[in-house]
Amino acid sequence: MGLPQRKLFTKDEYLLLEERAETKHELVSGEIYAMAGAKENHVKITGNIFRNIANHLLESPCDVYSSDMKLSAGFDCYYPDVFVKCDPDDNDELVKEKPILILEVLSDSTENFDRGNKLQNYLKIPTLQEYVLVNQKVVEVWIYRRTGKKWEMEILKNGDEFHLISIDLKILVEDLYAKISFA
């Protein structure tokens, strides 16, 4: 006797369930996964990123979102740590679809997924210009940047200037790590 088949969810079924859920979940390849809480450094780095971008975009038509807004990437839905969208037609209250910039802070439990499946799904979003991975264990930032029809990757370290071309924001890498202590 075989194992019972697990039900795969459509995006519409997921969105309906998520609207009523008390906790956050992501939809990945038709399966729904509960979101775990984050450690202190993750929360601080995410806050530093959000604050810098939000202040920069204050007078802009673009909007910045934190990890409480869903983002659709193909058939999957995620809660990125920070993302920016500028398209006024991307106005669904529950899920956005047209980001120009996505930033994820890496954690032990999600790093492989953020560098693998999620990376592949994000890079297929037609409006996306930059995908940024920020390490929370050491000062290191990976930027995937669309240049024409291909993607290029840049690694930044302490002392480097962090330039988000998609929103024309320049800050020092260490500013992302303000008030962070590495054990």
With tokens 């002392």, the residue in question is 159
Burial 68-85 (b: 16+ CB within 10 A, else e): ebbbbbeebbbbbbbbbb
Chain-wide mean pLDDT for the chain? 92
As to burial, measured by CB atoms within 10 angstroms (0-12 exposed, 13-18 middle, 19+ buried), residue 7 is exposed
Mean pLDDT of 64-83: 95
Confidence of residue 99 (pLDDT cuts 50, 70, 90): very high
Mean pLDDT of 122-146: 96
Confidence of residue 1 (pLDDT cuts 50, 70, 90): very low
The pLDDT score that the predictor gives to residue 163 is: 96
The pLDDT score that the predictor gives to residue 36 is: 83
pLDDT digits (tens, 9 = 90+) for 50-67: 999 999 999 999 999 999
Tell me the CA distances in angstroms from 30 to 9, 74, 106, one per residue in order.
Answer: 5, 11, 23
Confidence of residue 161 (pLDDT cuts 50, 70, 90): very high
pLDDT digits (tens, 9 = 90+) for 139-150: 999 999 999 999
Query: Right CATH number for 38-176 from 3.20.20.20, 3.30.465.10, 3.90.1570.10, 1.10.540.10?
Result: 3.90.1570.10
Per cent of the chain over pLDDT 70 is 97
pLDDT digits (tens, 9 = 90+) for 15-46: 999 999 989 999 999 999 888 888 899 999 99
Mean pLDDT of 108-124: 87
The pLDDT score that the predictor gives to residue 37 is: 84
The pLDDT score that the predictor gives to residue 113 is: 82
Residue 39: which of 47, 27, 28 has the closest Cα? Answer: 47
Q: Is the pLDDT of residue 156 over 50?
A: yes
